[in-house]
Amino acid sequence: MRTLVISDIHANLVALEAVLADAGHWERVWFLGDLVGYGPNPNECVERLRELEPLALSGNHDWAVLGKLDTDEFNDDARRMVRWTRNELTEDNLAYLEGLPPRREAAPFTLAHASPRHPVWEYILDLQTARENFDYFDTACCLVGHTHIPTLFALDEAATEPDLYLVGHGDIVDLKFGRSIVNPGSVGQPRDGDPRAAYALLDSESMVWEFHRVAYDIAETQARMRRHKLPTRLIERLEFGM
Ligand code: ZN
């Protein structure tokens, strides 16, 4: 089944619409968490995602907005966005977020926002962390978000150490080689130096995964953020993809 895999929308509706327009035909959507936080359109993003009837997770920013996670480890801008977002969201949209788990299985895949070991908070950015996390899921492949960096950690059958691949637009991976932890990158706030929205398409029968990027109207998202007087640093970082 052709599956659109998206993560870390972070209330950036313009980026989400660009992804949906670019992705073409798909049969279902998997969303890996962090629907809100940072961006100017939290209600619109929750409502747009809900229309797609996705298999969805919650992320650490969603949890913070719901009051399920302490914001001590957030920087000042992120904490400010948590408060702003909580005030903006309707009761109905808060209830939708409340119902999302941070980890679930869809065999032969495990879906976790951050990592299978610590689904809400851990960043899988290095080989050591990835290697340890391979012990925390039973399926062949685990899909994660959270770092906002498209990546593939691959553990082929003969190897005991995973390999790390940083990936770009158009890269195609045959996931049948062994076990993997795959991250599609972020729709609404990319952090790999490429400001384009990131997403992936997965054919769950052939196990072929495609990484995609699509340009969106960053200036429009920035204008919406300025209108709400959101933090300058968060507005500026969008155009650098950092
Ligand atoms: Zn995020």
pLDDT, average across residues 105-130: 96
CATH, residue 97:
3.60.21.10
Query: What is the pLDDT, as a whole number, of residue 110?
Result: 98
Ligand 1 centroid – CA 189 distance (Å): 8
Which residues on neighbouring strands pair with residue 164, listed in sequence order? Answer: 153
Secondary structure letter of residue 176 according to DSSP? G
Counting residues of the chain whose pLDDT is more than 90, the rounded percentage is: 90
Ligand 1 centroid – CA 177 distance (Å): 28
- How does pLDDT run across 73-101, given as a tens digit for each residue? 889 999 999 999 999 999 999 999 999 99
- How does pLDDT run across 173-183, given as a tens digit for each residue? 999 988 999 99
**Ion ligand 1 residue ranges (Cβ < 5 Å):** 8, 34
Query: What is the pLDDT, as a whole number, of residue 158?
Result: 77
**Which residue type is seen at 153?**
F
Using only C-alpha atoms, the chain has a radius of gyration, in whole angstroms, of 17
Ligand 1 centroid – CA 8 distance (Å): 5
Least confident window among 63-72, 141-150, 181-190? 63-72
- How does pLDDT run across 12-31, given as a tens digit for each residue? 999 999 999 999 999 999 99
Assess contact for 151 and 182: CB atoms under 8 A: yes
Give the pair of three-digit tokens for residue 123.
């960043």
Ligand 1 centroid – CA 94 distance (Å): 17
Tell me the pTM: 0.96
What is the number of structural domains in the chain? Answer: 1
If phi > 0 it is left, if psi is from -120 to 50 it is alpha, else beta; for residue 194 that is beta
Counting residues of the chain whose pLDDT is more than 70, the rounded percentage is: 100
Domain containing residue 168: 2-240
* Residue 205 CB coordination number (10 Å): 8
Ligand 1 centroid – CA 207 distance (Å): 25
